[in-house]
Structure formats: structure tokens, C-alpha cells
Amino acid sequence: MRKKIINKSAELFLTLGFKSVTMDDIANELGISKKTIYQNFDNKTKLVEAATLNMFDNICDGIDHICNASHNPIEELYDIKMFVMTYLKNEKASPQFQLKKYYPQIHQNLQTKQFEKMHISVKHSMQKGVDTGLFRQNIDVDFIARMYFNGMSGIKDESIFPSTLFTMEYLTESYLEYHLRAICSEDGLKTLTQFITNNQS
């Protein structure tokens, strides 16, 4: 039952936002009493924490699978972007923004975990790009990996990139191309251009 509550809560939080969803909403969706939820979680904050950690673990598993199966680091970054966007439902309800505003401690802990995971993953991907000649030989892999995380976090700042002007899909797509054009070698730029041309909707 605990797993069912976490999964349904995560789905609702992503669709409607962390602040908007009540314990009553979750109970009604599951067809259980609110008491049952409180038998598993002391309060909503504990449930939000469990749901976000569960989402994080699921995303990490998906990213690992993509990295293990990828043909090259350019396609890999696009595949990861698409997987995360799909999993997070394009963040239409700005869950990241609500989490930061209403559950700052959970957001901070999650941000730390995200950085640790992404730093290792992106560094590995960058090095693979350098080794295969798709990325420039002289890039500082550790610095670029940190910049990439900082940029991906930055585009989620509602005060700088308001959702009334930018969709999350546009922001992630634009930032990813911006990032790759900065580090690609000549061969990498050809691969990137070919990939974008082939995948334009």
C-alpha cells in the first residue's frame, strides 16, 4: 500500500503541483481513507519527500539505461532530455518551482542528489565525447559538467524564464543545443546538425 500511495502521489504532484494536491485528493484517487495514508506517512511533508525520492530513483535508473545503450554522447544527452521531460510530464504544473517554494529543505536535498548523479553521468558522457572526437580535445570536463548542471537548474528559475513566455520543452531543447555547440568538435557539429535535422518535428 505504501508503494501505491507514493506512486499515485507522485503522479498527482507532477500533474497538479505539490501545493495544490491535498491528502484528501490522494485518498480519493486511490479509493482509500485518509487514515490509511497517515498510517504510512506522518504528514504531507513526509509523503512529498518519499514521492520525490522515488521519482529521483526512477529517473536515475532510466538515465543509467540510456547511458549503457547509447550510440554517442550527443544522442545520449537528447535521449536523457526526452526521457526526463516525458517522466516529469513536461513540468506543466511547475512542480520544481512549487517544491522549492513550499518544501525548501526537500528541494535542497534533492538538488544535492541531482548534482551528485548528474555530475558523474555528464562527466562520463563528456569524456566519451572527447575520446571519440565528437567533443573538443581541450575542454575541461569537470568544469563543463558543473556548468551544464548549473544551466539546467537555471532555466527552471521562474523569475528569469517565466512559464508565460517559455515552455520547459523549449528551454531544455534550446539549452541543450547551446551547450553542445559550445563543446563539439567539427565532426561533432556535423553529427549534431544531422541529428537535429533528422529529429525536427
Rounded CA separation 169/84 (Å): 11
| Residues 6 or more apart whose Cβ sits within 8 Å of residue 140 | none
The total number of structural domains in the chain stands at: 1
Residue 35 placed within a domain: no
Residue 33 placed within a domain: no
Residue 86 placed within a domain: yes
pLDDT at 185 over 80: yes
Residue 9 placed within a domain: no
Q: pLDDT value at position 90? A: 62
Grade residue 92 by pLDDT with cuts at 50, 70 and 90: low
- Quote the domain boundaries for residue 154: 44-199
What Rg do the C-alpha atoms of the chain give, in angstroms? 19
Name the packing angle between helices 186-199 and 168-183 (round to 10°). Answer: 160
Q: pLDDT value at position 114? A: 93
Residue 1 placed within a domain: no
Other C-beta atoms closer than 10 Å to the C-beta of 1 total 11
Q: pLDDT value at position 149? A: 94
Query: Which grid cell is 77?
Result: 544527452
Q: How large is the average pLDDT for residues 183-193?
A: 97
Identify the CATH number of the domain in which residue 138 sits. 1.10.357.10
Three-state DSSP at 1 gives coil
pLDDT at 89 over 60: yes
Task: Give the pLDDT confidence of 6-62 residue by residue, as tens digits.
Answer: 999 999 998 888 998 999 999 999 999 999 999 999 999 999 999 999 999 999 999
pLDDT at 140 over 90: yes
Q: How large is the average pLDDT for residues 112-123?
A: 93
pLDDT at 66 over 70: yes
Q: Among 54-68, 84-98, 154-168, whose mean pLDDT is lowest?
A: 84-98
Residue 14 placed within a domain: no
Q: What percent of the chain has pLDDT over 90?
A: 79
Residue 31 placed within a domain: no
For residue 135, give the DSSP letter. Answer: B
Three-state DSSP at 184 gives strand
Rounded CA separation 147/119 (Å): 10
| Residues 6 or more apart whose Cβ sits within 8 Å of residue 68 | none
Residue 25 placed within a domain: no
